[in-house]
Chain A
Amino acid sequence: MKNILYFAIMGLFGIIIHLISYFLALKLTTISLVMVGFPISIITIAFYEHGVKTEKLDIFKSLYIIILIFSISLIIFVKFQESILFGTEISFDGLIYIVIFGLSLTFYQVAVNRDSYSKKEVLEINKNRFYKMPRLFIKISLTFLTGIGIMIPSMLIIQIFPIFPALTQEINQFFNQFVDINSILFRWEIIFLIVGATIIPHFLIFWASVKWNPFSLTFSQWNCILTIIEPIGGLFFGILLLNEFFPMEFFVIVLFLLIIAIMLRYVHEKTSKINAYLLLSRNKGSSKKLVIKLLKINGIYGVDSLIGTYDLMINVKTNSISSFHHLVNNNLRNLKGIKEIKILFINKIHKLNIY
Chain B
Amino acid sequence: MTLTALIFCQIEHKSLIKVVEKFKEIPKVQKVFSLTGDYDVLAELIVDSTEELYEIFANKIDLIDGIIETNTHMIMSSWKK
Contacts and interface: CB of A to CB of B under 8 A. Distances in A.
Interface of A: 117, 122, 125-126, 129, 277, 291, 295, 300-310, 313, 342-350, 352, 354
A310 B38 CA distance: 13
B74 interface: yes
Given A277-B42, A352-B24, A301 B81 contact: yes
Contacts of B73: 306-310, 313
B13 interface: no
A144 B74 CA distance: 45
Contact of B33 (A122, A295, A304, A348): A348
Interface in B28-76: 29-39, 42, 71-76
Contact of B20 (A122, A126, A350): A350
Given A122-B81, A350-B20, A309 B71 contact: yes
Nearest to A302: B80
A126 B79 contact: yes
Interface of B: 6, 8, 20, 23-24, 29-39, 42, 71-81
Contacts of B79: 122, 126, 291, 295, 302-305
A302 B81 contact: yes
Given A345-B35, A345-B36, A302 B78 contact: yes
A107 B8 CA distance: 42
B36 A300 contact: no
A212 B57 CA distance: 32
Contacts of B30: 352, 354
A350 B33 contact: yes
Given A117-B81, A291-B79, A350-B20, A344 B35 contact: yes
Given A344-B39, A352-B24, A305 B76 contact: yes
Given A344-B42, A349-B31, A350-B24, A305 B36 contact: no
Contacts of B39: 344
A304 B34 contact: no
B37 to A, nearest CB: 4
B77 A304 contact: yes
Given A277-B42, A345-B37, A301 B80 contact: yes
Given A126-B80, A129-B80, A302-B80, A346 B35 contact: yes
Nearest to A291: B79
B38 A305 contact: no
26 contacts: A125-B81, A277-B33, A295-B81, A304-B6, A304-B75, A304-B78, A305-B77, A306-B6, A306-B74, A306-B75, A307-B73, A307-B76, A308-B6, A342-B37, A344-B42, A345-B36, A345-B37, A346-B34, A347-B35, A347-B36, A350-B20, A350-B23, A350-B34, A352-B24, A352-B32, A354-B30
Contacts of B37: 342-345
Given A304-B75, A305-B75, A309-B73, A277 B81 contact: no
A277 B39 CA distance: 11
A255 B50 CA distance: 58
A283 B32 CA distance: 30
B74 A344 contact: no
Max chain B C-beta neighbours (<10 A), residue from A295, A306, A348, A350: A350
Complex A-B, nearest 10 residue pairs according to Cβ-Cβ distance, in ascending order: A308-B73, A344-B37, A350-B32, A345-B36, A306-B73, A348-B34, A305-B76, A344-B35, A347-B34, A303-B79
